[in-house]
Structure 1
Amino acid sequence: MAPSILVWHRDDLRVRDNAALAAAVDDGHAHPLFVFDPRFYRSSRVCDSRLAFLHECLDELADAYEHRGGGLAYRHGDPREVLDELLTDGVVDRVYMNATTTAGYARERDDALASREAVRVFSDDAIVRTGDSRDGWQEQAEAYFAADQHDPPEAVAGELASTTDITEITTEYDLSPSKRRQYRGGCVSARERLDAFADAIGDYVGGISAPAKAQRRTSHLSAYLKFGCLSPREAYQYVDERGDGRGVELFTSRLYWNRHFTQKLADNPDATEHAINPVFRGMNRERHDPALAEAWKRGETGFPMVDASMRALRETGWLNFRMRAMCASFFTYILRCWWKVGADWFYRHLIDADPAINYQQWQMQSGLVGVHPLRIYNPRKQVREHDPDGEFIREYVPELADLPATFLDEPSKAPVSVQAEHGVSIGDDYPYPVVDFEQRREAARETWAALDERAKEALADPEIRRRASLSSRRDDRDESRDTGGQATLDDFTP
């Protein structure tokens, strides 16, 4: 008799290119299950809108199973207890799960389940989890992206009984999503978005750095990748098969970039909590100013590009990469605040929040790694270069909507007569800068320079160096190429 195999979904909310599901269908009767984990729903680092996106993903996954003659079961509780009970009571004979890369509680939970004799883990995701991940990583990543996808099953007859549903979970946790999102969650929605992006991928070039353009011209696939509505391989092959050119190169390099940072978190799960380079541990923690941190969170720093970005993050749950980097740089170097507070704030509000990318990028942009040149974004220069007409600022900082674009990089320099003519009073309607940018920037350079030798000495430790390095990535300062500050495909070499 064929075994009953539970397929435990977590961040693989799809039927296409799903190794655990494909194997379960081949080996026996597949029983798909999602467990609503109370720790996730009670976390202060997860906004209601991200949970709403998750629920939309589950709705579409459930539909996919119904079309195949089965169903997606829902349970509520500690997944370790839920799965142990199903195995102990003989409801299922085995558990198949796809490997994931995370940290903290989720990593401990998954590791505990993976150690069960009846549990089988599938690691078809380009991530090395045993041995030296630096030994041929580029080759095995290329092999992953080139390999055939797992076909979606034609039929999934198995179905467990649900003990809850999305409506009950929404009510129990009093979820009230408030963000203004552009796209719905789910595998069908992901495919539609992928198709639309691939059709217009030529617009991707030149549409990465400027925040208003990025809202229209970037892929907006990050949340779908985070929840596994698409596999990175599926997105890579779909775009690669549709054409070539600079847009395809930029996008596919970002999928390598996604896998690379996921690999780094697999190697060092501590990166979500502590500075990668021990020399920088505790940096700014003692002089962290809660009042400045709150002004940054509210988007009331007196630096319009920072404020527009922070309000966009809070209102939409999304921000393009360059603005994320600028806000992190400003928080750590200019406000002299503790990076962890800022990283946690981003992680709470981003719909696409991925621990591997969010926390390690925060560390890089905050100078906590020690292998990259110090880069302190000038938010006034960012206005001049990436929002010269004020399209982005006017949308998210309406207090400045009528101010001439000439003054949007530094509104406090607008003459009182200009302010009066255009109905804005700096200091009343919009704040003066909360700090002196130039003075703080020079002080930050001096502080980090004083630690440079110690940081390099720490990197002599092979383990620290391995955790800190980003292969042979170069500091990309050719902004005419508009890579958004991210790595290109050539940067991922051994």
Structure 2
Amino acid sequence: MSDIVVWHRADLRSVDNPALAAAAEDGTPAPVFVFDPQFYGSDGLACDARLRFVHESLRDLRRQYRDRGGDLALLHGDPREVIASLLDRGYEIYCNRGVTGRYGRRRDDALLDREGVTAFEDDGIVRPDERHRDGTVAIDTREDWREQCEAYFRSEPHPRPESLSDNPIESATTIGRIEGRYDVTPSKSNVPEGGTTAGRERLSAFADRLQEYPAVISSPADAEQRSSRLSAHLAIGALSPREVYRRVRDAPSSGGREMFVSRLFWNRHYTQKLADWPGWTERAVNPAMHGLFREEHDPDLVAAWKRGETGFPMVDAAMRALVETGYLNFRTRAMVASFFVYVLREWWKRGADFMYYHLIDADPAINYTQWQSQANLTGVHPVRVYDPAKQLREYDPDGTFVRRYVPELRPVPDAYLADPAKMDRATQADVGVEIGVDYPYPVVDYQRRAETARDRYAALADRADEALSDPTIQRRGSFSNRRHGREESNAERDGQASLEEFT
């Protein structure tokens, strides 16, 4: 039996790993992970805490292999060169085909179609070969999509090999050396532990409290502490969506269980969008929205948004939480994206890239498609300008989230917390918070900017509708016919969707 290199990428698990299972059936697996310099350093593609999460997952994966007599070989360098050298040495390469954007897509384009490389696709995603020159699929992937995705979830996971042989490929580095070389010292706090073992423990604990899920998803403070927090394990593949689905389905029936299952379909739905058109990470899906606000860049406004110093407490708390913890719940991500584009009038991609860098659970398919959806660069979604003050009153009514991340506002009475600038001088002096000194005045006029944004989009509506009449644009965005109107769906309203949404 021949040695087959199993190249781990965003699949840091040994259970339900199609490439590993196939290698065990066809030969002897030789698992490999390549540390890619593109993700490290001051100009790297991931924050230090996400890199540490990956490293924790690698340690756990290596334990899984060693417990079965094998090992995970750790290599370092440009994967295009490292994998090519393994091919030159006569190894076959098995890997799982992911759905990625930009750099990852260029890397895969250079390797996955080479002779000797076999890429497996058992992940519920449809990948037709017929495509237009811009990468858009040439057939409708939405037909019967829900059924085939549900078939993926319900099918049996791929088994993990019971025993393995020594890995003929020697490690060229260690996790410790990589962390020392690139100074991977996380500054973020409250980050979940990486790895399949930790992920399964978190999944089991969450399954026991699934009935609470609907009550905790909208509040940023509650979601941070009591939601599943499994998204990072899914993003780097320490757990597969199918494994999570099957564990949750074993839990007692409840509204929370059905809602979370819908979130797993939601995950596959947006991954399908990026598979249908890789341009989601680069430019507006609707041509009528190309370059919107790109030339109206105000570096000072962007800097205030990144620092959490806009004078809008809910926005500022969210941005500081993002930088400090690498996590925000769905609603709060939507709010800061809406604020960045509609209120600050900034080009969406600057904000989307910043958020992607800081998220522990960074997933290009979800991050960039959601930014475009929230900014209505699709021409399909409503122009929903989240009011930060209203979001605070409804989802952080006691100020727990805002006071945690904007500590200078802790003494501010609840009545003024949504808009501290409304405090009179006497109140400011009484609580010891001077607006303009201890906390900034709002950097823009929210109401005026919101109305201007609505007018701007209204002026583009006819062009956006005309673009959507092109079947290629419809397929580019994975838009179903019934969603071409501007009615707000459950997914946009609540951050969830029923299974009927996924058609």
Q: What is the TM-score normalised by the length of structure 2?
A: 0.94
* Counterparts of residues 378-393 of structure 1 (less than 5 Å): 378-393=387-402
Q: Let me know the Cα RMSD of the aligned residues.
A: 1.6
How many Å separate the matches in 1 of 2:98 and 2:182? 25
Deviation at 1:56, TM superposition (A): 0.5
Counterpart residue number, 2:352: 343
* Counterparts of residues 91-106 of structure 1 (less than 5 Å): 92=91, 94-106=92-104
Q: Deviations over 1:215-252 (max 9, x none)?
A: 12211000000000110011011001112111011111
* Counterparts of residues 47-446 of structure 1 (less than 5 Å): 47-90=47-90, 92=91, 94-130=92-128, 132=139, 133-159=141-167, 160-446=169-455
Counterpart residue number, 1:40: 39
How many Å separate the matches in 2 of 1:74 and 1:45? 20
Is this contact kept in 2: 1:403–1:422, CA < 8 A? yes
Q: Deviations over 1:418-466 (max 9, x none)?
A: 2211111111100010000000000000000000000000111111112
For structure 1, the residue ranges without an aligned partner over 5 or more in a row are none
Q: 1:193 to 1:483 in 2, by over 3 A?
A: farther
How many Å separate the matches in 1 of 2:338 and 2:479? 19
Q: Which moved more, 1:466-475 or 1:386-395?
A: 466-475
Q: Deviations over 1:282-321 (max 9, x none)?
A: 1001111110010000000000000000000000000000
2:386 partner SS = coil
Deviation at 1:270, TM superposition (A): 0.9
2:32 partner SS = strand
How many Å separate the matches in 1 of 2:401 and 2:323? 15
Counterpart residue number, 2:134: none
Is this contact kept in 1: 2:217–2:223, CA < 8 A? yes
How many Å separate the matches in 2 of 1:293 and 1:483? 26
1:163 partner SS = coil
Q: 1:478 to 1:416 in 2, by over 3 A?
A: farther
Q: 1:127 to 1:168 in 2, by over 3 A?
A: same
The amino acid across from 1:50 in the alignment is R
Is this contact kept in 1: 2:232–2:362, CA < 8 A? yes
Is this contact kept in 2: 1:331–1:342, CA < 8 A? yes
Is this contact kept in 2: 1:35–1:77, CA < 8 A? yes
Is this contact kept in 2: 1:45–1:344, CA < 8 A? no
Q: 1:478 to 1:109 in 2, by over 3 A?
A: closer
Counterpart residue number, 2:26: 27
How many Å separate the matches in 2 of 1:123 and 1:478? 29
Q: What is the TM-score normalised by the length of structure 1?
A: 0.96
Deviation at 1:406, TM superposition (A): 0.9
Q: Deviations over 1:184-233 (max 9, x none)?
A: 10110100010011011111111111111111221100000000011001
1:205 partner SS = helix
Is this contact kept in 1: 2:112–2:118, CA < 8 A? yes
The amino acid across from 1:291 in the alignment is D
Identity among equivalent pairs (%): 56
Is this contact kept in 1: 2:277–2:477, CA < 8 A? no
Deviation at 1:358, TM superposition (A): 0.4
The amino acid across from 1:343 in the alignment is A
How many Å separate the matches in 2 of 1:105 and 1:215? 30
How many Å separate the matches in 2 of 1:15 and 1:283? 44
Deviation at 1:478, TM superposition (A): 7.4
Is this contact kept in 1: 2:259–2:496, CA < 8 A? no
Q: 1:318 to 1:147 in 2, by over 3 A?
A: same
Counterpart residue number, 2:10: 11
Q: Which moved more, 1:163-172 or 1:346-355?
A: 163-172
Q: Which moved more, 1:135-144 or 1:483-492?
A: 483-492
Q: Which moved more, 1:417-426 or 1:455-464?
A: 417-426
2:340 partner SS = helix
Q: Which moved more, 1:303-312 or 1:199-208?
A: 199-208
For structure 2, the residue ranges without an aligned partner over 5 or more in a row are 131-138
Q: Which moved more, 1:341-350 or 1:80-89?
A: 80-89
How many Å separate the matches in 2 of 1:486 and 1:453? 29
How many Å separate the matches in 2 of 1:470 and 1:240? 28
Deviation at 1:374, TM superposition (A): 1.2
Is this contact kept in 1: 2:145–2:502, CA < 8 A? no
2:295 partner SS = coil
Is this contact kept in 2: 1:74–1:165, CA < 8 A? yes
